[in-house]
Chains A and B, each alone.
Chain A
Amino acid sequence: MDFLNGITLIANYIVIPGLTYGSQLALGALGITIIYSVLRFSNFAHGEFMSFGAMSSILLSWLFISLGFTFHPLPTAIIVLPIAIVLTISYCIIIDKFIFKFYRKQNSKSVINLIVSIGIMFFTGGLIRFIVGPGDKNFFDGERFILKARTFKNITGLNEGLTLKTTQGITIVLSVLLVILLFWFLNKTKTGKSMRAYSDNKELALLSGINPEKVVLITWIVTGTLACVAGTLYGLDKSYKPFTYLHLVLPIFSAAIVGGVGNPVGAIIGGFVIAFSELIITFAYKKIFFYFLPSNFVPEGLLQILSTDYKIAISFLILVLVLLIKPTGIYKGKII
């Protein structure tokens, strides 16, 4: 019984939150990786694009709720997601047309594009705060839990409860679907293949008659979709606040680099590596030892490796470690 209790504890505090946060990071890191491998720069504005997507979902779900369209067990934000995705994609394409295109035509260095993306980050951040304000926005409606701690305890008769929030379930399911769709698109369709060809060898791709502007357009469509879904899911799960997305950029970059920039599989792995190490390092192991060890062996104290306050700093620590030991990341980068 103690053993099962311990397993439940780990599942409840590490596995489920890790899978949720990891999927959100993975979706964000995929966006950064794809931009990097096709357009060849680090997009610091990606966090704000995610924020833009989340904001669109919020505004649309408020509209739908006020018109009386709700779909009870599911949150409205999921129903309006397709429209929000279209809005985010349009915003990305407009930004590209007016700003990034100029530097692409000039063949600017990637560092110039990086600084440009900081300008866009400022602009988009200001725009979002101007539209919805800087405060906390909770836009979750519908059923809160798929599995409640008490129900779980009643069914199994264990001491420890297992909860699965609706947002967590939705996040994991939606991320899996989106990732499958993305890999199908990149590996099986002609457009996806042309995108990979372009990222692999630009000159050769141009010679074989691939239209560069079309590739760039597709890239922004893919990135916009990923950004909007990732932003909305993160906002649903943790409540939406514009400035948190600026801080989210760094864990996402860490995930992309840890996995190997330019490699989609790496981005996903990196997201989960970051998420799980954050949870594992800041988890208080006292209770686990309580279940797994005989009672007179249980040490004193909370048995945390690092205090929970350092949660986000861990992703940077891992980033630094990876840069020191293997700068190319887990999977060697730049192959899409």
Chain B
Amino acid sequence: MSNASRIKFLYILMTITLLLVGFFQSWNVALTIFNLCLISSIMTLGINIQWGNAGIVNFGVMGFAALGGLANIIISMPPTQNAWKVGGEIIIIGLMIFTLSIIFSILLFKKSNLNNKIKYLISFALIISGYFIMRLLVDAPIEKIEAIEPAKTGYLGGFNLPVLLSWPVGGLLAAFSAFIIGKISLGLRSDYLAIATLGISEIIIYFLKNEDWLSRGVKNVNGLPRPVPYEIELQSKEWVLKISDYLDTPITELSSIIVKLSYSILFFVVLLIVLFLLEIAVKSPWGRMMRAIRDNEVSANAMGKNIKQRHLQVFIIGSAIVGLAGAMLTTLDGQFTPVSYQPLRYTFLIWIMVIVGGSGNNFGSIIGGFLIWFFWVQSEPLGLWFISQITTHISDTNLIKSHLLENAAHIRLMFMGMILLITLRFAPKGLIPEVKR
């Protein structure tokens, strides 16, 4: 099959599947899956531009998504009363001192021509003293801030701006940290890069879990503002009541469908914009250059391409897209829960989506995101059904049967592993292979 007909076939298949879920399960479920499919496919697009077009292995998806989530808090939550008075500024100053000590030691390495050992010694002393000065300044105000109504706030809060603004800001936050991470780790071989990015993303999550003054840590931030109306508001609107009468659906169900549908429209618009921009980028001379670097670094270098700069560029772009999607995800959830960021669910599942969809093909990434998310959600009931089918002939009191049924939900990890392994074995280019240009 040619690529175009593959795309048509798979997209139609996916649409029909989601419609079937709508008709047979419920429209609420179908739209929930659809929304998360959209977000997953945006994340997948971000990783695809890095892996598919530039050959960079980024296992830091989880960290960038969490930073996008953090943007939601910083932008949209109201500032906590008094938090800034008791020492918000001091925290910022402390952090700046620490950052300055790091910047100075980097400058020392780049500019001075001292002996290497002396350089290490001085920069070590600089960073350590910067750290302790920060701790001296910051420890007391942090305690005070965390003591302000710890059950409700106990953190700095945000700027009380519209939540939609947090999506681009989430992207920027991720891009900024991608710049730093890229500077640290992009010179490494692909294996090391994978491990380094995975490690750094874990550090980000640990930071968000433990720094209560910033994001309330494991206490979570609930009740983030929404870009769409609340269900209760809708239920009193006249046009909603009319539709409810016309369609003969209960008003509670209809209002939640409308809310989800408006999210879908927002996400779909973002997906279209990202896809449009990426398609332009991939087809442009820039895209050709990226692929040339991916296929043969040495000859691309010989042609005068600055490989380190290009890699950094594409690393930042891809990570920003992941951050954008992470911000959207937190907006959809309405809360920020650092504990929920697990590498299996964020980093590795997104990678399965990229590989299965077809690395190097944006349309493939989207269908990969849709299909894998759909399976991820539906394989739990599927596993349960599978086990109960095999064990129909065993009596219900049998210990083995009850044990199997209890653990059937975990089959989905096995499913995911098998999908990835089968794809790599029999269709290593994915469902929709990269276009030969």
Chain A interface (Cβ < 8 Å from any Cβ of B): 41-42, 99, 102, 110-112, 114-116, 118-127, 129-131, 133-134, 246, 250, 253-254, 257, 301, 307, 309-310, 312-313, 315-317, 319-320, 323-325, 327
Contact = CB atoms under 8 A, between A and B. Distances in A.
Contact of B194 (A42, A124, A316): A42
Given A123-B418, A124-B417, 16 more contacts: A114-B57, A114-B190, A118-B351, A119-B421, A122-B417, A126-B410, A126-B414, A126-B416, A130-B408, A131-B407, A134-B407, A257-B192, A316-B203, A320-B184, A323-B188, A327-B188
A115 B351 contact: yes
Contact of B411 (A119, A130, A323): A130
B191 A130 contact: no
A313 B411 CA distance: 30
Given A129-B410, A253-B195, A118 B210 contact: no
B374 interface: no
Query: SS class of chain A's interface: helix, strand, loop or mixed?
Result: helix
A316 B417 contact: no
Interface string B347-360: 01001100100000
Q: Which of B120, B206, B406, B410 has the most CB of A within 10 A?
A: B410
B194 A134 contact: no
B209 interface: yes
B424 A126 contact: no
Contacts of B184: 320, 323-324
Contacts of B412: 126
Interface in B176-229: 184-185, 187-188, 190-192, 194-196, 198-200, 202-203, 206-207, 209-210
A310 B344 contact: no
Q: Which of A41, A125, A307, A325 has the most CB of B within 10 A?
A: A125
A99 B238 CA distance: 61
A137 to B, nearest CB: 13
B168 interface: no
A115 B420 contact: yes
B425 interface: yes
A107 to B, nearest CB: 13
A323 B197 CA distance: 11
Q: Which of A118, A125, A313, A316 has the most CB of B within 10 A?
A: A118
Nearest to A327: B188
Nearest to B412: A126
28 contacts: A42-B194, A110-B191, A111-B57, A112-B428, A115-B424, A119-B417, A122-B344, A122-B420, A125-B413, A126-B413, A126-B416, A130-B411, A133-B407, A133-B410, A246-B343, A253-B195, A254-B199, A257-B195, A310-B206, A312-B206, A313-B202, A313-B207, A316-B199, A319-B199, A323-B192, A324-B184, A327-B188, A327-B192
Contacts of A250: 195, 198-199, 202
A120 B195 contact: no
Q: Which of B191, B404, B406, B415 has the most CB of A within 10 A?
A: B191
A320 B417 contact: no
Interface residues of B, number: 47
Given A111-B191, A123-B418, A129-B410, A118 B348 contact: yes
Contacts of B416: 122, 126
B114 to A, nearest CB: 16
B365 to A, nearest CB: 15
Given A111-B57, A312-B202, A123 B185 contact: no
B272 to A, nearest CB: 29
Contacts of A123: 413-414, 417-418, 421
Given A115-B355, A307-B210, A126 B406 contact: no
Contacts of A116: 421, 424
Given A126-B415, A323-B184, A134 B210 contact: no
Given A133-B407, A307-B210, A42 B195 contact: yes
A126 to B, nearest CB: 3
Contacts of B200: 316, 320
Contacts of B195: 42, 250, 253-254, 257, 319
Contacts of B348: 118, 121-122
A120 B210 contact: no
Nearest to B183: A324
B426 to A, nearest CB: 10
Q: Which of B194, B343, B406 has the most CB of A within 10 A?
A: B194
B410 A130 contact: yes
A327 B189 CA distance: 10
A121 B192 CA distance: 18
Given A114-B194, A116-B424, A123-B417, A129 B407 contact: yes
A126 B411 contact: yes
Contacts of B203: 313, 316-317, 320
Contacts of A130: 404, 407-408, 410-411, 414
A221 to B, nearest CB: 23
Interface in B421-435: 421, 424-425, 428
Contacts of A316: 199-200, 202-203
Contacts of A102: 425
A250 B207 CA distance: 17
A101 to B, nearest CB: 11
Contacts of B408: 130
A310 B351 CA distance: 27
A320 B209 contact: no
